[in-house]
Structure 1
Amino acid sequence: MIKQKYFVYNSTVFCSFTLGSSDFHLITLTENYTQAKNYCRVMYTDLATIYNLADMDNLVTLASNITENAWIGLEMGAMWMWHWSLPGQVTDFFKWKSGEVITHDQEECAAMDQFGGWFVSACGVLRKFVCQGNHTGYFIFVNESKSWWDAQSHCRNLSPDLVSIHSEAENMAVLNVSASQSVWIGLFKDPWIWSDGSNSSFRFWRASQPSYLHNQDCVAAVFQDNGKWNEQNCSNQLNFVCRGEGNMILIQENMTWIEALSYCRKYYFDLVDIKTKNIQDQVAQKATNATSSYVWLGLRYTVQFNFWFWIRSTSSCYQNWLPGEGPQRDYGSAVSGAMEATGGQQWVGLPETEKLNFICSTCAG
């Protein structure tokens, strides 16, 4: 459902539209990129960061009544950097094959050869690829040839993302499942950064974009082209999209489950509950910035009756347990529910005395 609200800004009345849980705010003022960013940081949190295709679908729906382009929070950074496609993954391991030339001035993607060495390639080349599995050490070989970006989209519909590799052992495991073929892995290089510092690797470029033309260092969504992204001169005057905090917040302090529950109820509303895939995706986005390996959820286990329940709602059909966790396991002691901060971001039961970051919901509903 789209809600409408009004603000007065620089003596001009205009309207902002908010779409459901995405917490996007389409601002119908026209500003240059810097002015738009400053406005969003004052009124909300920042210009919009886009994490996935569901975000883009929501944004296109939000903008269904306008035909103008709008700034989003993607801008040219100071240098070209390698990133893992899976959000939250640190680039702490490389396995470039001997003699590979690593340039620093163009978009490139990484592939693994039949011997396990990595090499750089134009992202549009068609290759088979390996997806990250839903739990640690599990990888999925896809025997279809796609561009790097299409492979990424395929993996995100099947599993968390293209594979991320952080050790020699993981590299060997990926080589083993690839059947000694050249495959895409989830490493790519570009200079674009998000205004809010997010590490989202999602990209939704128009055909022939990005072109890296001089003085086109900011990005707008083109709603005449299904919201696809286009480079723009940052001085152009456009509408823009802000992103708010949403209805949940990550607390980067380590507390026991009971302490986290008390904190959320004192300062916000409650520990977050997850009843749908959409909410799972939002919580997962928040969790990637955690400073602990897991984050507490509002999920509780009763030893007496051996079942799990959300502390402020009725039971839900949606579940995202790590294999071996959840209702199929008798824990035998006091545990509460937590989510992996990275990787598959599935749920686990942990002793309630462990100290973790946690996610609070900021309102009922």
Structure 2
Amino acid sequence: MSALFTPLSIRGIEMRNRLWVSPMCQYSAVDGVPNDWHHVHLAQFAAGGAGLVIAEATAVSPEGRISPEDAGIWTDAQAEAWAPIVAAIRARGAVAGVQLGHAGRKASTTSPLTGGRGTVAPEAGGWTTLAPSALAYDTFAEPVALDAAGIEKVVEDFADAARRAVAAGFEVVELHAAHGYLLHQFLSPLTNHRDDEYGGSFENRVRLLVRVTEAVRAATPDVVLFVRFSATDAAEGGWSVADTVAAARLVGAAGADLIDVSSGGLVPQQRIVTGPGYQVEYAATVRRETGLRVAAVGMIDDPALAENIVADDRADAVLSGREWLRDPHYGLRAAAALGADSPAPAQYTRAY
């Protein structure tokens, strides 16, 4: 039997296989509301055999968007727009998840679809960005350091967004604490220069993420909860794999069910060598050291590689992104390559 195409059940929610779709920003929403593009984009992966489809980084507040074109879930209207998309994913046999995020100092930026790169000024539809400390990312605008009330609002925004996600039908919620966005900015000493209870020591820097995890778990006690980490900043003096292991234990105790392990994104001077499966060993380390479920990600574009990662117990599941964009039926192709039972919809079975 194929390990990759063995079901995985968490909190009574069964993913039919362990080949999943990573959240991928589409920069195609209007006022945070998803539309027909998101519907077709996400539903095709479910028809293509994915076990879990995670919708893109979805902002928990207007100021949490990466760009003005980002999707959101800070209003009931946005949640209602997500509902038929979630239904379409589930109707095609996959579980629907959503990644909740706040971009922090990397917010209010130009959509890459326009070909630009930089901060969108308030007069052009952008906004003042927020961060743990008033330190700009690269050439972006300098953010404002969050005060105590602002931190409380972040916690409440994540909890409220999780409630709306569950109301829309999502069965998996992922907290985005990676890639240099707000929760990651609090974690790393490179971006967190605070001298209060949220800065300085490891215990203080991880405090906001633990509080958000606890708040989301309390608000949505039955949801399957993931936390995505960048395992390392890949920069001198930054967040490390050992830090990720320690933080994973804390969020696991706070209610997280699975750790989604990526890397980098915090500072432009990072040094990362990429290649097929280049982040898998980070996931394997977290799994081995904590006993928690983990998902591996990072150029896992070959079914045989994905199979080996799961079969060798280096990860409980595999997330891919660009390969699903290249081939929305990657799951069906992978099942055929591995000799597994095909998750093809009845309308497609003649091809398999």
Report the TM range for the smaller structure's normalisation. under 0.3
Larger Rg belongs to: 1
Give the structure, 1 or 2, with the largest relative contact order (CA under 8 Å, sep 6 or more): 1
What is the TM-score of this pair, normalised by structure 2? 0.25
Larger % of helix: which? Answer: 2
Larger % of strand: which? Answer: 1
What is the TM-score of this pair, normalised by structure 1? 0.24
